[in-house]
């Protein structure tokens, strides 16, 4: 119970006493004459009960006040104890801080003394150094400048060797990182683009129902075969091959026209000069339609839209053109798809990459009619009909034979190399193959210190043995780089060629 409760009890006691007195007075006034004795007794009883209740309330109030006093004294004591503890802690911290300040002052004095001692030692060392330099100059008969030059020359030699070693290490790290990134991009492009291997030759074979048809194709005194060759511009070879004739021409379109014309003549059976001219003219129209259709299909398959109609016709001519046995139109579609995948990885314009990849070899369709490289011819053809300079750059630079090659040239060159170097995509005749291997070995043998070189892995790697007395380790590294650079400048080859320089030291002795 609180103080408020005690006050309430006290006031209740007073009010009860007042009301008791009033009741007694009223009772006395109203019943004075009738029952004065009984009223007096009742009033005394009420007063007695009120006094008893008041005493009980006072006692209870005193107990409550005593309890509250004890609680307050306990709280005051606890707070005094807490303040005492805090004062003790602060006194201890103050003492600790004073000790630390004394220690710092002592250390500062010690450091000042040591600094003075170091200054004295430094002055002493400078004096000794100057006296040693003078003594060295006197003994070696060499000035300080001359000695400095000798030391600098020696240091430059050491730094040059260290520079070569560091450059070699950094180059290896950069090459490894660049190869890893390039492999990731190329692998993703290859995985997302798969195409069949198309191999063709410069000859076509037309089957015949029987060998008697050969005589009819030759005609009386050879007039039919002369008419066919004159109308088509193709050599017709009729030999001992059973039930077949061979068409030979470096112009694939002429060869296709001749093949279709002879097939129609054989099926029709009427073979004479007038009929030959009529059938050849009809075959020529059909081939032109096939060319235009092939160009449209190639553009659709590569996802290239809005090509100029003349470009589509020229592009379709590549259906009948081969390069090392690889169909050029199929190769162009594949390059377009590969270039688009790599462009997407490199955050370049995918549509421009497709366009440049599809048209990169368009110059091969007319390179027998126009002088120049097929890259330059194709770039000029596309420049007249295409608004995008990026596409023209990709076509003109895809063999990396121009100055200031743009990223489009590198992109189309990489896609072209991937498509060309797939196993089975192209084939090479034995003479060119042997010549390329011989050229590789001749380039390696032209360097001083080379003992022997071997072209292996079908010309994709060359291993070079050097004389260890003439070529040290650092020079071997430099030689590998120089040989690779000369191969890049001199030869033309698909893919890449690995250059390995081997240096070996053998110590031989005989026990007798």
Sign, CA torsion 265/271/273/275: negative
The answer to which of 57-66, 94-103, 178-187, 255-264 has the lowest mean pLDDT is 178-187
List pLDDT tens digits, range 147-156. 677 777 777 7
* Segment 422-447 mean pLDDT: 74
Give the whole-angstrom CA distance, residue 251 versus residue 231: 14
For residue 131, tell me if it sits in a domain: no
222 plus 280 within the same structural domain? yes
* Segment 274-289 mean pLDDT: 89
For residue 135, tell me if it sits in a domain: no
For every residue of 460-498, DSSP letters joined together read TEEEEEE-TTT--HHHHHHHHHHHHHHHHHH---SS--E
**pLDDT for 50:** 82
List pLDDT tens digits, range 310-361. 988 888 888 888 776 678 888 899 999 999 988 888 888 999 999 999 999 8
**pLDDT for 76:** 92
252 plus 350 within the same structural domain? yes
- Helix and strand tally (H, E) in the chain? 15, 8
For residue 129, tell me if it sits in a domain: no
Q: Which of 374, 392, 420 is where one domain is finished? A: 420
Using 50, 70 and 90 to split pLDDT, how confident is the model at 495? low
Q: Which of 164, 191, 218 is where one domain is finished? A: 191
Is the pLDDT at 200 greater than 50, yes or no?
no
Judge if pTM exceeds 0.85. no
Give the whole-angstrom CA distance, residue 329 versus residue 338: 14
Give the whole-angstrom CA distance, residue 235 versus residue 249: 6
Is the pLDDT at 464 greater than 90, yes or no?
yes
Instruction: Report helix, strand and coil shares of the chain as percent, to nearest 5.
Output: 70, 5, 20
For residue 64, tell me if it sits in a domain: yes
List pLDDT tens digits, range 80-136. 999 999 999 999 998 888 888 888 888 888 888 888 888 888 888 888 877 777 776
Long-range contacts of residues 49-55, Cβ cutoff 8 Å, at least 24 apart: 50/13, 50/16, 50/17, 50/20, 51/17, 53/13, 53/16, 54/13, 54/16, 54/17
Is the pLDDT at 38 greater than 80, yes or no?
no
Chain centre to alpha carbon of residue 214:
62
Residue ranges of the alpha helices (H) in 210-361? Answer: 212-218, 223-232, 252-268, 273-302, 309-316, 328-345, 350-359
* Segment 160-187 mean pLDDT: 76
For residue 74, tell me if it sits in a domain: yes
Q: Which of 420, 455, 486 is where one domain is finished? A: 420
491 plus 343 within the same structural domain? no
List pLDDT tens digits, range 159-171. 777 777 788 888 8
Report percent pLDDT > 70 for the chain. 83
Is the pLDDT at 511 greater than 80, yes or no?
yes
What is the domain range of residue 454? 430-503
Is the pLDDT at 28 greater than 70, yes or no?
no
Which residues, 6 or more positions from 333, have their beta carbon under 8 angstroms from its beta carbon? Answer: 195, 298, 301, 302, 358
List pLDDT tens digits, range 427-436. 555 567 678 8
**pLDDT for 198:** 42
3-class DSSP assignment, residue 308: coil
List pLDDT tens digits, range 44-56. 788 888 888 888 8
**pLDDT for 461:** 87
288 plus 343 within the same structural domain? yes
348 plus 218 within the same structural domain? yes
225 plus 345 within the same structural domain? yes
282 plus 357 within the same structural domain? yes
- State the Cα angle at 453 between 448 and 455, rounded to 5°: 140
220 plus 330 within the same structural domain? yes
Q: How does strand 498-503 pair with strand 461-466?
A: parallel
The answer to which of 21-35, 102-116, 269-283, 369-383 has the lowest mean pLDDT is 21-35
27 plus 79 within the same structural domain? yes
In total, how many domains does the chain have?
A: 4
Using 50, 70 and 90 to split pLDDT, how confident is the model at 500? very high
Is the pLDDT at 240 greater than 80, yes or no?
no
Higher-confidence residue of 41 and 36: namely: 41
* Segment 436-463 mean pLDDT: 87
**pLDDT for 501:** 92
For residue 197, tell me if it sits in a domain: no
Give the whole-angstrom CA distance, residue 343 versus residue 337: 10
Higher-confidence residue of 453 and 27: namely: 453
* Segment 439-463 mean pLDDT: 88
180 plus 263 within the same structural domain? no
468 plus 362 within the same structural domain? no
Q: What is the CATH number of the domain that holds 494?
A: 3.30.300.20
Is the pLDDT at 63 greater than 70, yes or no?
yes
434 plus 492 within the same structural domain? yes
């Amino acid at each position: 119970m609180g103080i408020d409760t005690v006050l309430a009890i006290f006031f209740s006691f007073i009010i009860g006493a007042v009301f008791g007195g009033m009741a007694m007075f009223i009772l006395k006034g109203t019943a004075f004459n009738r029952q004065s004795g009984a009223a007096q007794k009742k009033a005394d009883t009420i007063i007695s009960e009120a006094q008893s209740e008041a005493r009980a309330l006072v006692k209870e109030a005193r107990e409550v006040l005593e309890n509250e006093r004890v609680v307050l004294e306990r709280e005051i004591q606890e707070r005094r104890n807490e303040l005492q503890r805090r004062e003790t802690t602060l006194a201890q911290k103050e003492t600790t801080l004073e000790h630390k300040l004394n220690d710092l002052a002592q250390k500062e004095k010690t450091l000042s003394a040591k600094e003075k001692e170091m200054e004295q030692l430094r002055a002493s060392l400078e004096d000794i150094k100057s006296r040693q330099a003078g003594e060295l100059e006197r003994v070696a008969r060499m000035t300080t400048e001359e000695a400095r030059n000798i030391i600098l020359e020696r240091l430059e030699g050491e730094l040059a060797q260290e520079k070569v070693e560091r450059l070699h290490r950094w180059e290896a790290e950069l090459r490894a990182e660049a190869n890893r990134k390039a492999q990731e991009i190329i692998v993703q492009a290859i995985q997302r683009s798969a195409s069949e291997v198309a191999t063709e030759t410069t000859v076509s074979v037309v089957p015949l129902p029987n060998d008697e048809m050969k005589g009819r194709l030759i005609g009386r005194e050879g007039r039919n075969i002369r008419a066919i060759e004159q109308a088509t511009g193709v050599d017709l070879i009729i030999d001992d091959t059973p039930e077949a004739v061979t068409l030979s021409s470096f112009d694939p379109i002429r060869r296709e026209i001749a093949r279709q014309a002879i097939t129609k003549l054989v099926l029709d059976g009427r073979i004479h000069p007038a009929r030959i001219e009529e059938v050849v003219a009809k075959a020529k129209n059909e081939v032109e339609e096939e060319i235009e259709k092939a160009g449209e299909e190639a553009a659709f398959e590569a996802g290239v839209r809005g090509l100029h109609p003349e470009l589509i016709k020229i592009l379709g001519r590549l259906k009948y053109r081969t390069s090392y046995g690889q169909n050029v139109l199929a190769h162009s579609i594949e390059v377009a798809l590969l270039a688009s995948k790599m462009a997407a990885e490199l955050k370049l314009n995918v549509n421009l990459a497709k366009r440049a990849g599809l048209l990169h070899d368009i110059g091969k369709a007319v390179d027998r009619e126009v002088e120049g490289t097929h890259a330059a011819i194709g770039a000029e053809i596309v420049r007249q009909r295409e608004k995008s300079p990026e596409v023209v750059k990709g076509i003109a630079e895809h063999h990396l034979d121009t100055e200031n090659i743009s990223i489009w040239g590198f992109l189309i060159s990489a896609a072209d190399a991937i498509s060309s170097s797939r196993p089975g995509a192209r084939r090479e005749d034995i003479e060119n193959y042997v010549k390329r291997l011989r050229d590789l070995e001749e380039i390696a043998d032209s360097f001083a210190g080379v003992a022997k070189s071997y072209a292996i892995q079908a010309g994709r790697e060359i291993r070079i043995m050097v004389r260890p007395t003439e070529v040290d380790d650092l020079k071997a590294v430099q030689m590998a780089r120089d040989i690779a650079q000369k191969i890049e400048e001199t030869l033309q080859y698909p893919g890449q060629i690995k250059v390995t320089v081997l240096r070996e030291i053998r110590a031989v002795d005989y026990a007798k």
